[in-house]
Structure formats: structure tokens, C-alpha cells
Amino acid sequence: MPISPETRDRLTSSVAQLVRTGRHVSSRVAAQLYGELPSFGWALLLPLERDGAQRCSALAGTAGIDVSVASRQVAVLERSGYVERRPDPVDGRASLLSLTPAGAAAIAATRAQRQEWALGALASWDEDDARTLSDLLDRLVADLESAGSARVASRAAVPAPR
């Protein structure tokens, strides 16, 4: 059964409110959540921790940002000692980025702060509700990414007006 317009509107409004609240809270508590780590650092360091050394272009793709933005942000992380660069053994013209011990420590500290904050925010939730929301958010993210990719592909397939 398709989603009713009322439910669709409530859902899109709730997601928009969630994003606004997340931005507001993030800017207010960034120093607490990220410590010395720049707020964008989490999105760039986490894939290095999870997947290991990689090129800036791969890191940008994972973080969902333009390569030029990732390059500038990586430079900040590199100067701060969180990331190191070395030549790519497959292609000496390119560099591989990897997490330094300081970067790993910053991720661990940030993770602990975020977990403490989330535990406080979710104190009245039970395990089943939290798992259900996590599952549904994962599904929403995947479906939004899929819909976005399909929309871009359909626009590319339409010939340009002459």
C-alpha cells in the first residue's frame, strides 16, 4: 500500500527537523563532541580507521563531498597530525592517506564523547525501539541514496534541448 500524502509530509517534515536539530546541536556541542578534532574530521577519519589507507578521491566519495573540499580538509588533518600521506605503491603520482596514532586517539576520544551524549539523549528508550529506529534509518539512507542516483541517471539520459 502506498504512503499517504499526510504520512509523506509528516515524514519529510520530521527528517528535515532532525537534520536542523542535528546541525544546531552539532554546532553548539562540537567542542564537547569533537574535542581538538575539527568537526569535519570525523567523517574523513572514520573511513580511514574502518577501511585503511586510501586516496583522497576515495575518501571524498565515502564522505559524500567534492574532492577539492576533501583535499582542503585532509590538509588540515595532516597539519594537525591526524593523517599522514605516502606515495601510492601502485601509482607513484598519487598519494595514499592513512590514520596516524594521534588520529586513532582522536577518533577514540570522539567516539566516547558521542556515545556518552547519545546514551543521555536515549536514556528513556528501550533496546527494541533503538534497534528498530536504527534499522529504519539505515533503510531510509539506502533508499534516499538509491533514489538520488536514479534521479541523476534519469536526468543524464534526457537529451539536452537544441
Tens digits of per-residue pLDDT, 146-155?
Answer: 887 776 666 6
Whether residue 40 sits in one domain with residue 106: yes
Whether residue 57 sits in one domain with residue 114: yes
Whether residue 129 sits in one domain with residue 119: no
Whether residue 37 sits in one domain with residue 116: yes
The sign of the dihedral angle between the CA atoms of 118, 139, 15, 71 is: positive
Whether residue 129 sits in one domain with residue 107: no
Give residue 8's Cα distance to chain centre: 25
Whether the per-residue pLDDT at 68 is higher than 80: the answer is yes
Q: Which amino acid is at 47?
A: P
Q: Does residue 80 form part of some domain?
A: yes
Query: What is this structure's pTM?
Result: 0.67
**Structural domain count, the chain:** 2
Whether residue 146 sits in one domain with residue 98: no
Whether residue 73 sits in one domain with residue 149: no
Reported for 93-96, long-range contacts at CB under 8 A and 24+ positions apart, including other chains, are: 94/55, 95/55, 95/56, 96/53, 96/54, 96/55
Whether the per-residue pLDDT at 10 is higher than 90: the answer is yes
Whether the per-residue pLDDT at 30 is higher than 60: the answer is no
Whether residue 146 sits in one domain with residue 68: no
Residue 97, φ and ψ in degrees, nearest 5: -105, 140
In terms of pLDDT, which residue wins out, 29 or 69? 69
Q: Does residue 118 form part of some domain?
A: yes
Q: Give the mean pLDDT of the chain.
A: 85
Q: Which domain holds residue 141?
A: 125-154
Whether residue 108 sits in one domain with residue 34: yes
